[in-house]
């Protein structure tokens, strides 16, 4: 598994998981990887759309025990 920083947004509702992710992405260089953990059911599709619009790579998604785990790679921003 790749090394990636973890962003814990469990228990937060939309749009907070995405806002936490966005805040961390701004502080990272292109090529960085971030794992977002969230319980909000909208998270996977929100992050997928956000990555497409902002030119980041949606790398991986898993749902485990009610927690959405989303891995992204930071693009050029």
Catalytic residues: 14
Buried b (16+ CB within 10 A) or exposed e, 16-39: ebbebbeebbeeeeeebbbbbbbe
**Half-sphere exposure at residue 28, Cβ-oriented, CA atoms within 13 angstroms:** 21
Other residues' Cβ atoms within 10 Å of the Cβ of residue 7: 18
């Amino acid at each position: 598994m790749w090394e990636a920083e973890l962003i814990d947004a469990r228990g937060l509702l939309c749009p907070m998981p995405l806002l936490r992710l966005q805040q961390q992405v701004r502080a990272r260089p292109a090529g960085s990887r971030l794992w977002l953990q969230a319980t909000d059911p909208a998270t996977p599709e929100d992050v997928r759309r956000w990555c497409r619009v902002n030119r980041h790579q949606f790398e991986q998604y898993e749902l485990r025990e009610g927690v959405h785990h989303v891995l992204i790679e930071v693009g050029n921003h």
